[in-house]
């Protein structure tokens, strides 16, 4: 794995997007940690308060290299096959990145109201440190 994605495992939108990314990537580049897993976050020096600013992407080979919020979403898009062209175009269009950042902030701050809250935290099949369903259990 090359990257760790920290996401809100109780947010319906966040979980849906993680599941989409899981299906696209199949554990090749990304592993996942729900922000509710405070013990795992501790290993990276991340607090629950840090997670309030949005999802976090960590370069597993250089953990000091991190992206958060809309920057993390853009970097994930850039990493995906063919995504670099779309992210570059998005960043190049005047005002679009600024608007995207504001939309991200609004969705982040109102995610439970807009998309609902799961009764249980979603745990990815591709959780950090898990190479198979047998070693870490199945996704909810």
| Separation of alpha carbons 72 and 65, rounded Å | 11
pLDDT at 139 over 60: no
pLDDT at 27 over 80: yes
Chain-centre distance of CA 97, in angstroms?
A: 19
Residue listed under structure tokens 């109780």: 10
- The reply to whether the predicted model has a pTM over 0.85 is yes
Residue range 77-124, pLDDT digits in tens: 999 999 999 999 999 999 999 999 999 999 999 999 999 999 999 999
Residues 117-138 have a mean pLDDT of: 77
| Separation of alpha carbons 60 and 31, rounded Å | 9
pLDDT at residue 92, as a whole number: 94
Residue listed under structure tokens 């958060």: 68
Candidates 68, 86, 93; CA nearest to 5 is 68
pLDDT at residue 129, as a whole number: 74
Our separate counts of H helices and E strands in the chain read: 7, 4
Give first-to-last CA distance, the chain, whole Å.
22
| Separation of alpha carbons 115 and 97, rounded Å | 23
Give the HSE-up count for residue 73: Cα atoms under 13 Å, Cβ half-sphere: 19
> Under 8 Å CB-to-CB from 58, ≥6 apart: which residues?
3, 4, 6, 44, 65, 66
Q: Tell me, what DSSP letter sits at residue 59?
A: E
């Amino acid at each position: 794995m090359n990257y760790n994605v920290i996401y809100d495992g109780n947010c319906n939108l966040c979980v849906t997007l993680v599941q989409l990314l899981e299906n696209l990537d199949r554990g090749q580049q990304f592993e996942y940690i729900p922000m509710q897993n405070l013990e795992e976050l501790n290993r990276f020096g991340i607090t629950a308060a840090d997670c309030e600013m949005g999802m976090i992407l960590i370069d597993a080979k250089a953990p000091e290299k991190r992206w958060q919020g809309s920057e993390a979403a853009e970097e994930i898009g850039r990493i995906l096959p063919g995504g670099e062209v779309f992210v570059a175009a998005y960043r190049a269009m005047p005002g679009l990145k600024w608007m995207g950042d504001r939309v991200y902030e609004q969705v982040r701050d109102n995610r439970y109201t807009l998309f609902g809250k799961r009764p249980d935290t979603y745990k990815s099949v591709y959780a950090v440190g898990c190479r198979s369903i047998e070693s870490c259990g199945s996704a909810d």
